[in-house]
């Protein structure tokens, strides 16, 4: 039995659901602001593992470059991690990551940050109770927090389609968070379905145009290319036939299939520019769950939501964005009001 008290052992100022780039940034930002924080994720071995595009920013004209600069000045984790040896690969003007290196770096930060407890558990429900949030998990646990950040990525009612076969999942081979999605809807938060596409990985050694800079190298150790806009479908045999009819890929090989995740995100007018739900005090959203498009923007939303959740939970002054945060501010306002989903500052809406 859990005691309804801020002094109980299961109480935290902030609970973060999810540990992708958004969840990691929210957890680290909340803890850095002095809030006792718990980060609940389905798989601690997959912390911040980017399943899709390894390009975080694509040239000096990409607003995500300025976004990273603003986050760096504000103290977010991602820009600092990109400066560590081996965490980022510069390909021309692109910022390309080795997703395993970055994921491990985020994991180390989560496990070593003061006031932050990462836990592996599937969150099944969140519910308000006299100003405190109850967070229930599939393991029968109940945690309590003054504020909750939902950063569940593509897992909310996720359905993965690969090779013409559809199965429940947040990404290829992972479980989904259907119960949490139903719970969020019951709280009066409106959601809509969208898709996130992960293109196939190709063997760099068997691609003639591997060095032309068009396809980003993904995970340097394995020598894989992320097949951006490689348009193949069907089972692996059918996809290989299509690939090998493409110029430069007569001997091509698909190391990992492409897939699409159909999942739920917030509709417009559900959160304010601080990323707090308009109808539920203390409930914040970040990343894909909030409606964003890519990892850099997801991290930015996580940072903002974590700061604001900590301010609300601890009674500190609100962490308002300033004139130095032009792109971050633009992104948060777009998440709040832009009707076309998902939201991105990278290209004009409704693109992603």
- Asked whether residue 346 is assigned to any structural domain, the reply reads no
Same domain, 184 and 241: no
- Asked whether residue 3 is assigned to any structural domain, the reply reads no
pLDDT of 311: 95
pLDDT of 211: 46
d(CA 158, CA 123): 14
Contacts of 264 (CB under 8 A, 6+ apart): 156, 157, 181, 191, 192, 193, 194, 289
Same domain, 295 and 189: yes
d(CA 95, CA 18): 24
pLDDT of 306: 97
Contacts of 202 (CB under 8 A, 6+ apart): 215, 224, 225, 226, 227, 230, 243, 249, 252, 253, 254, 255
Residue 314's φ and ψ, nearest 5 degrees, are -100, -5
pLDDT of 231: 82
- Asked whether residue 303 is assigned to any structural domain, the reply reads yes
pLDDT of 109: 96
Concatenated DSSP letters for 102-133? HHHHHHHHHHHSTTEEEEE--EEEEEEETTEE
Same domain, 115 and 148: yes
User: 261 forms bridges with which residues in the sheet?
Assistant: 160, 196
**Which element (helix H / strand E) includes 295?**
helix 295-314
pLDDT of 4: 42
Task: Output b/e per residue, 268-278; b: 16+ Cβ within 10 A.
Answer: bebbbbbbbbe
- Asked whether residue 222 is assigned to any structural domain, the reply reads yes
pLDDT of 3: 37
Same domain, 107 and 220: no
pLDDT of 50: 86
Same domain, 116 and 225: no
pTM metric for this prediction? 0.92
Residue 221's φ and ψ, nearest 5 degrees, are -65, -40
Q: Give the domain CATH number at 185.
A: 3.50.50.60
- The domain containing residue 208 runs over which residues? 201-257
Contacts of 274 (CB under 8 A, 6+ apart): 284, 304, 305, 308, 318, 332
Structure tokens at 235: 């089972």
pLDDT of 94: 78
pLDDT of 42: 93
- Asked whether residue 342 is assigned to any structural domain, the reply reads no
pLDDT digits (tens, 9 = 90+) for 145-179: 999 999 999 999 999 998 888 999 988 888 899 99
Running along the chain, 352 residues long, what does each successive block of 10 average in pLDDT? Answer: 50 97 98 97 92 85 92 94 80 78 94 97 96 95 96 95 90 89 96 92 73 60 78 86 84 88 96 96 97 95 97 82 84 95 84 70
Q: Look at residue 161 and give its three-state secondary structure.
A: strand
Same domain, 206 and 64: no
Q: How many domains does the chain have?
A: 2
d(CA 37, CA 341): 30
d(CA 87, CA 161): 30
Same domain, 122 and 151: yes
Q: Look at residue 276 and give its three-state secondary structure.
A: strand
Same domain, 251 and 291: no
- Asked whether residue 1 is assigned to any structural domain, the reply reads no
């Amino acid at each position: 039995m859990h005691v309804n008290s801020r002094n109980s052992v299961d109480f935290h100022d902030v609970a973060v659901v999810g540990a992708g780039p958004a969840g990691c940034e929210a957890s680290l930002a909340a803890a850095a602001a002095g809030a006792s924080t718990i980060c609940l994720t389905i798989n601690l071995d997959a912390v911040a593992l980017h399943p899709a595009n390894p390009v975080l920013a694509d040239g000096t004209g990409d607003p995500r470059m300025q976004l990273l600069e603003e986050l760096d000045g504000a103290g977010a984790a991602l820009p600092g991690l990109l400066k560590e040896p081996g965490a980022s690969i510069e390909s021309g003007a692109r910022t390309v990551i080795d997703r395993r290196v970055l994921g491990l770096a985020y994991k180390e930060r989560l496990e070593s940050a003061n006031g932050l407890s990462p836990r592996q558990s599937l969150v099944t429900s969140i519910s308000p109770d006299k100003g405190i949030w109850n967070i229930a998990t599939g393991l029968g646990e109940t945690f309590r927090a003054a504020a909750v950040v939902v950063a569940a990525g593509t897992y909310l009612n996720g359905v993965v389609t690969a090779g013409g076969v559809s199965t429940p999942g947040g990404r290829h081979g992972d479980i989904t968070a259907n119960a949490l999605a139903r719970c969020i809807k019951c709280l009066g938060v409106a959601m809509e379905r969208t898709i996130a596409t992960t293109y196939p990985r190709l063997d760099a050694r068997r691609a003639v145009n591997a060095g032309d800079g068009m396809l980003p190298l993904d995970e340097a150790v394995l020598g894989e290319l992320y097949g951006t806009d490689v348009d193949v479908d069907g089972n692996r045999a059918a996809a290989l036939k299509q690939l090998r009819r493409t110029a430069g890929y007569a001997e091509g090989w698909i190391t990992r299939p492409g897939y699409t995740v159909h999942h739920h995100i917030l509709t417009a007018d559900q959160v304010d520019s601080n990323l707090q739900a308009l109808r539920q005090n203390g409930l914040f959203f970040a990343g894909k769950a909030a409606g964003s498009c890519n990892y850099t923007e997801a991290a930015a939303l996580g940072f903002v939501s974590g700061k604001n959740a900590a301010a609300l939970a601890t009674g500190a002054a609100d962490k308002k964005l300033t004139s130095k945060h032009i792109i971050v501010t633009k992104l948060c306002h777009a998440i709040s009001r832009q009707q076309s989903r998902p939201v991105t500052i990278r290209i004009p809406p409704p693109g992603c």
